[in-house]
Amino acid sequence: MNGDDDAGSRRTRVVLGEVAARRPAQDRARSDLAELTPVGEALIKGLVRAQLALALRMALVVVTALGALPLLFAVAPAVGEVKVLGIELPWLLLGVLSFPFLAGVGWAYVRWAEHNEQDFVAVVRRPEP
């Protein structure tokens, strides 16, 4: 009896390329992030830089807007004596209206920070060519 003639003893040749082709392609960007490869580190550093730049720009807006008011009142004292609804303008601007301004800046910061994160996720989830 010859082994080649027996149908039950046939061997199947498995080629590594065929097995790899059957497996779903692994997302390279996600693996770079998980393994903290140089590419993954560059992606994370890019996100951190974008968030830091946004924070610095928003801080500059706050410092400029709120810091300019006392300067304005020191340079032009007549402006500081103006009354609106019986309240002096410096008290109204710095004591009352500064809080809604800060809340608005905070809301804008959160919105733009989430946009940066969504851009980061889009880069990570982008299909490879």
Domain positions in the chain are 27-125
Nearest-Å Rg of the Cα atoms of the chain is 31
Q: What is the pLDDT of residue 103?
A: 96
Which has more pLDDT, 2 or 41? Answer: 41
* 40 in Cβ contact with 33 (< 8 Å): yes
Which has more pLDDT, 106 or 42? Answer: 106
* For residue 37, pLDDT beyond 50: yes
Average pLDDT, the chain: 79
Which has the closest alpha carbon to 39: 117, 124, 114, 115?
124
pLDDT digits (tens, 9 = 90+) for 70-105: 888 888 888 777 788 887 877 888 888 889 999 999
pTM: 0.66
Dihedral (Cα; 98, 104, 105, 107), 10-degree rounding: 150
The structure tokens listed for 30 are 């996600």
Which has the closest alpha carbon to 77: 66, 88, 65?
88
Q: Which residue, chain included where needed, has tokens 């994160």?
A: 117
Which has more pLDDT, 9 or 106? Answer: 106
Q: What is the DSSP letter of 92?
A: I
Q: What is the pLDDT of residue 5?
A: 56
Q: What is the pLDDT of residue 44?
A: 84
Which has more pLDDT, 8 or 18? Answer: 8
Which has the closest alpha carbon to 94: 118, 65, 115?
65
CA 105, CA 98: separation in Å to the nearest integer?
A: 10
